[in-house]
């Protein structure tokens, strides 16, 4: 019956790009049983986003409350709108994503009588300001649970926000392993042909927004170190962002320019993954659990990642790829050469990566674990003997 459904309000700071958190939220809502859960989304900064079409097609209400800065009169008006929304609909759960939702949104929802609050922590939090850390510690008692995207995220956030261990749970992101599948020989050939590359080229890629924390300097420095040993090296950089123009200009001015393709933002990353031999992710800080990494693993690619956030929980060093120290371009260069020189091991790592995704990082598992948490809060199991 409809009345038996658990009502969930998801509150997120921004929903104006196809980033990891936005993709995660759409996948989660789409994977929850419509017979058990009814979901609504509130975004404080909402923009055009193809992901929203998926939610709208499922009848999910999407509301824009343009809060802006939290300490101006407009924020009071938006807080009142959120307060009335929560009070009117009496949500069983309000789940928050990002800093403003964790503080401004959570406090408003609590005052409005939300039954249960959950915070979803997506990264290790190094970019938070001292005020944010102070507020997180002050408001931690409002939350019934804190979902961490990886154990590495949990270790960092628990220490920063002084969270009680009994309210912390790790739920990994999931990937659609049916859609993200290894390419056929023809699909691989076609993907490379679109980029102007040949079958025998060795293609290294990174899927990440061009932002400071993603540390593309290490990626390109490592490639430059490996290039003399890999004559057929080709480079694919997928993603937009504030630093994209700077890196394009740098590449155009040196020898890496002719072998590098910058795609900018793309609507569908899959054809680009099919062109790769190996994927990389080289953040120096503030990483969570990368959707890009597990998507590449699902297409049977070995990964080379820095030991930040949940990267080492996704990639098993020496089995599904390589885990290197953060900010260590020489280590990246050595790992690239090692992967290039041993094609048999490279293929075996890719197959192992695919198997690991199927066993541990499926969308079904991610959604099931969230549903289990929601149900445990709203419908706790009866105590034996009572």
E strand map for the chain = 6-15, 37-46, 62-64, 93-97, 116-121, 145-148, 168-170, 202-207, 233-238, 260-264, 278-281, 303-306, 321-324
Confirm whether 298 is domain-assigned: yes
Q: Are residues 158 and 303 in the same domain?
A: no
- Contact status, residue 259 vs residue 373, Cβ threshold 8 Å: no
pLDDT for 384 equals 59
Confirm whether 383 is domain-assigned: no
CB count, 10 Å around CB of 263? 16
Q: Which of 341, 218, 345, 336 is nearest to 278 (CA)?
A: 336
pLDDT tens digits for range 81-118 = 999 999 999 999 999 999 999 999 999 999 999 999 99
- Contact status, residue 116 vs residue 73, Cβ threshold 8 Å: no
Average pLDDT in the 39-47 region?
A: 94
Q: Are residues 194 and 154 in the same domain?
A: no
Q: Are residues 246 and 137 in the same domain?
A: no
- Contact status, residue 146 vs residue 168, Cβ threshold 8 Å: yes
Is residue 1 predicted with pLDDT exceeding 90? no
Q: Are residues 231 and 371 in the same domain?
A: no
Domain count, the chain: 2
In the beta sheet, which residues pair with residue 214? none
Confirm whether 384 is domain-assigned: no
In the beta sheet, which residues pair with residue 261? 236
pLDDT for 93 equals 98
Q: What is the CATH number of the domain that holds 242?
A: 3.40.50.2000
Q: Are residues 189 and 243 in the same domain?
A: yes
Residue 94 buriedness (CB in 10 A; 0-12 / 13-18 / 19+): buried
Q: Are residues 160 and 16 in the same domain?
A: yes
- Per-residue confidence band for 177, with pLDDT thresholds at 50, 70 and 90: very high
- Contact status, residue 161 vs residue 119, Cβ threshold 8 Å: no
Q: Are residues 315 and 235 in the same domain?
A: yes
- Give the residue carrying structure tokens 């995207």: 149
- Contact status, residue 288 vs residue 222, Cβ threshold 8 Å: no
* CA separation for the pair 204, 279 (Å, rounded): 6
Confirm whether 256 is domain-assigned: yes
Q: Are residues 141 and 220 in the same domain?
A: no
- Per-residue confidence band for 204, with pLDDT thresholds at 50, 70 and 90: very high
pLDDT tens digits for range 244-293 = 999 999 998 888 788 999 999 998 999 999 999 999 999 988 889 999 99
In the beta sheet, which residues pair with residue 117? 94
- Per-residue confidence band for 4, with pLDDT thresholds at 50, 70 and 90: confident
pLDDT for 2 equals 47
Q: Are residues 83 and 111 in the same domain?
A: yes
**Distance from the Cα of residue 337 to its chain's centroid:** 28
Confirm whether 386 is domain-assigned: no
Q: Are residues 332 and 367 in the same domain?
A: no
Give the Cα-Cα-Cα angle 76, 80, 81 (nearest 5 degrees): 120
Q: Are residues 117 and 223 in the same domain?
A: no
- Residue 249 in 3-state DSSP? helix
Confirm whether 12 is domain-assigned: yes
Confirm whether 62 is domain-assigned: yes
Is residue 17 predicted with pLDDT exceeding 80? no
- Contact status, residue 183 vs residue 191, Cβ threshold 8 Å: yes
- Per-residue confidence band for 381, with pLDDT thresholds at 50, 70 and 90: low
Domain that holds residue 300: 185-360
Confirm whether 11 is domain-assigned: yes
- Per-residue confidence band for 240, with pLDDT thresholds at 50, 70 and 90: very high
* CA separation for the pair 64, 54 (Å, rounded): 17
Q: Are residues 27 and 133 in the same domain?
A: yes
* CA separation for the pair 27, 377 (Å, rounded): 21
pLDDT for 3 equals 60
């Amino acid at each position: 019956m409809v009345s038996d459904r658990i009502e969930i309000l998801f509150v997120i700071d921004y929903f104006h790009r196809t980033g990891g958190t936005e993709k995660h939220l759409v996948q989660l809502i789409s994977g929850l049983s419509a017979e058990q859960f009814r979901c609504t989304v509130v975004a404080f900064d909402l923009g055009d986003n193809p992901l929203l079409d998926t939610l709208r097609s499922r009848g999910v209400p999407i509301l824009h409350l343009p809060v802006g800065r939290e300490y101006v009169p407009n924020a009071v008006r938006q807080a009142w709108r959120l307060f009335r929304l929560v009070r009117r609909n009496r949500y069983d759960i309000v789940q928050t994503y990002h800093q403003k939702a964790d503080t401004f949104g959570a406090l408003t929802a609590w005052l409005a009588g939300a039954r249960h609050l959950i915070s979803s922590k997506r990264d290790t939090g190094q970019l938070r300001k001292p005020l944010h850390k102070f507020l997180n510690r002050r408001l931690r008692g409002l939350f019934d649970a804190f979902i961490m995207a990886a154990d590495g995220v949990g270790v960092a956030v628990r220490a920063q926000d002084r969270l009680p261990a009994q309210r912390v749970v790790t739920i990994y992101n999931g990937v659609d392993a049916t859609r993200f599948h290894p390419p056929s020989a023809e699909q691989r050939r076609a993907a490379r042909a679109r980029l102007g590359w040949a079958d025998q080229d060795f293609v290294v890629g990174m899927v990440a927004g061009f932002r400071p924390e993603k540390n593309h300097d290490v990626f390109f420095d490592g490639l430059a170190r490996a290039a003399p040993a890999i004559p057929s090296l080709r480079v694919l950089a997928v993603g937009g962002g504030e630093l994209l123009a700077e890196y394009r200009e740098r590449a155009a001015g040196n020898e890496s320019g002719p072998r590098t393709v910058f795609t900018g933002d793309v609507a569908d990353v899959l054809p680009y993954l099919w062109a790769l031999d190996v994927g990389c992710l080289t953040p120096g800080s503030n990483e969570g659990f990368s959707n890009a990494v597990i998507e590449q693993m699902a297409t049977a690619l070995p990964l080379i990642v820095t030991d930040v956030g949940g990267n080492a929980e996704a990639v098993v060093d020496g089995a599904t790829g390589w885990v290197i120290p953060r900010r260590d371009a020489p280590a990246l260069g050595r790992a690239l050469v090692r992967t290039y020189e041993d094609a048999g091991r490279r293929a075996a790592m890719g197959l192992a990566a695919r198997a690991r995704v199927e066993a541990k990082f499926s969308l079904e598992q991610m959604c099931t674990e969230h549903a289990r948490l929601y149900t445990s809060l709203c419908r706790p199991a009866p105590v034996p003997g009572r």
